[in-house]
Amino acid sequence: MKILILGAGVVGVTSAWYLALAGHEVVVIDRQPGAGFETSFANGGQISVSHAEPWANPSAPGKILSWLGHIDAPLLFRPRLSLRQWAWGLRFLYECLPARTRDNTLQILNLALYSRAELHQLRDATNIRYDHLERGILHLHSDPDELETARARVELMRASGFDMHLKTAQQCIEIEPALAVSRVRIVGGTYSPSDECGDAHMFSRRLEGLCQQGGVDFMFQSTIMRLLSERGRITGVSIRHVEGNEQTIHGDAYLVCLGSFAPDMLAPLGIRIPVYPVKGYSLTIPTQGYEGTPQVCLTDESAKLAISPLGLRLRVAGTAELAGYDAEVDTGRCRAILDRVEQLFPDAGNFSRAAPWGGLRPTTPGNVPIIGRTRIANLFLNTGHGTLGWTLACGSGHAIADIIAGRKPEVEFGFR
Ligand SMILES: Cc1cc2nc3c(=O)[nH]c(=O)nc-3n(C[C@H](O)[C@H](O)[C@H](O)COP(=O)(O)OP(=O)(O)OC[C@H]3O[C@@H](n4cnc5c(N)ncnc54)[C@H](O)[C@@H]3O)c2cc1C
């Protein structure tokens, strides 16, 4: 079968890998000059099964209210005159109900565990390298109440077969000695030893190369204008090349991996999906020659920051803004992130040379991605991975390849 993949983020390129392995002719189309240049470019880098609990949980509404008006709030709602934004917000509130949170957490946990196992297999089979670190993720708490809430999360995760432990403040320092000079008072933490981190962009580019060796064709700098349909089937994709000329490409099946831009591509076909862009920022700090750089991936749970050592860089990522499709970097919010890291790890790296970045997470209200069929027989979706697209990419890519082949995926998940 000839399969056209729309979008070469980490989700598109992993889908291409598994579809090519299954013997299909695969063409990937993207407006960027290579794979992983939009949201997969400078994310937090964490392969974090331990973050299966979505933002939409019972404590979220109260926290969001208390953060209103705070420019340095981890989650910021910037109201727009947009029905989509408000509908998404209401659905988010519904997903905060305890039963919904539990169901969403378990779905994400299943897919994340499967995805991590798939990533390991891919790594073993190809020897792909992407500045990855396999020392677990340490989740730090500076608020005693939040640490208490984390206890329940640890119990749910452990009951579901995931290795996660509560740690005292002293034990946190033993896991990450750079915390000994921290100016933030840590009250304790949780540790997930099997989690890891790595550079999603480097991974995407290198997997793109491996896909090419395996016969996958990439059409970069090609903007997808629309999907063409006739008698209930997709018949082609209309694209515009960077030089301005337009072309229609045909395939047997079409897979949409357009991240936050999937809803607009699907709406003219009458397919509506609850994916909304949630903006986040990262800073990449050079660390060569610095003694106080952390050697373990961390999450600062109180400030909601992911902190990942990636080779000779420290990546710090976080914040969430519901502000439409504006991906511009807010220097004030980036400064607040940098200040917090400087307090945690005063000698971590050259803070004055930190490179800022902003990206749009393609987020569903419950953070559960949309993977599977549509009512159009030859149109498939792999999108809406929200805060965990890097963590879930390999599992989602393998699963959609199974679905397109008419096979049942090996993981229990609510596929379409
Ligand atoms: C600040 C931040 C921190 C994060 N941290 C983590 C983390 O630690 N761990 C984790 O697992 N996840 C993390 N994420 C989430 C993760 O980065 C995303 O879920 C993931 O990158 C989504 O991948 P994707 O392939 O679906 O989307 P994208 O990477 O955005 O890919 C979509 C592709 O579609 C292309 N495209 C869109 N429209 C068109 C068009 N019309 N024509 C042609 N091409 C088009 C784009 O160019 C792009 O390449 C983070 C995200 C952010 C913003």
- pLDDT, tens digit, 9 for 90 and up, residues 109-123: 999 999 999 999 999
Q: How far apart are CA 103 and CA 94, in angstroms?
A: 13
- Give the closest residue to 34 by CA, choosing from 238, 237, 210, 219: 219
pLDDT score, position 351: 97
DSSP state of 33: S
**What's phi and psi for 343, nearest 5 deg?**
-70, -40
The residue count of the chain comes to: 416
Q: How far apart are CA 384 and CA 361, in angstroms?
A: 8
Ligand 1 pocket, residues with Cβ under 6 angstroms: 7-12, 30-32, 37-40, 43-46, 48, 223-224, 257-259, 261, 280-282, 306, 317, 359, 361-362, 383, 385-391
Q: How far apart are CA 167 and CA 176, in angstroms?
A: 12
pLDDT score, position 174: 97
Is the pLDDT assigned to residue 148 strictly greater than 80?
Answer: yes
pLDDT score, position 77: 79
Q: How far apart are CA 206 and CA 119, in angstroms?
A: 14
pTM of the model: 0.96
Give the Å distance between the CA of 396 and the centre of ligand 1: 14
Question: Which amino acid, residue 36?
Answer: G
Where does residue 297 fall: left (phi above 0), alpha (psi -120 to 50 degrees), or beta otherwise? beta
Which band of pLDDT confidence, cut at 50, 70 and 90, is reported for residue 156?
Answer: confident
Average pLDDT value over all residues in the chain: 95
Give the position, in ligand 1's atom list, of the atom nearest the Cα of 265.
41
- pLDDT, tens digit, 9 for 90 and up, residues 253-301: 999 999 999 999 999 999 999 999 999 999 999 999 999 999 999 999 9
- pLDDT, tens digit, 9 for 90 and up, residues 41-59: 999 999 999 999 999 999 8
Q: How far apart are CA 234 and CA 255, in angstroms?
A: 11
Is the pLDDT assigned to residue 190 strictly greater than 90?
Answer: yes
**What's phi and psi for 62, nearest 5 deg?**
-60, -45
pLDDT score, position 68: 76
Give the position, in ligand 1's atom list, of the atom nearest the Cα of 10.
25
**3-state secondary structure (DSSP) of residue 282:** strand
What's the mean pLDDT in 154-170?
90
8 Å CB contact between 34 and 221: no
What's the mean pLDDT in 27-47?
98
Question: Rounded to 10 degrees, what is the CA torsion of 152, 153, 155, 160?
Answer: 150
What's the mean pLDDT in 125-140?
97
Give the Å distance between the CA of 36 and the centre of ligand 1: 7
For residue 143, CA distances in Å to 91, 327, 347 come to 28, 31, 24
- pLDDT, tens digit, 9 for 90 and up, residues 383-413: 999 999 999 999 999 999 999 999 999 999 9
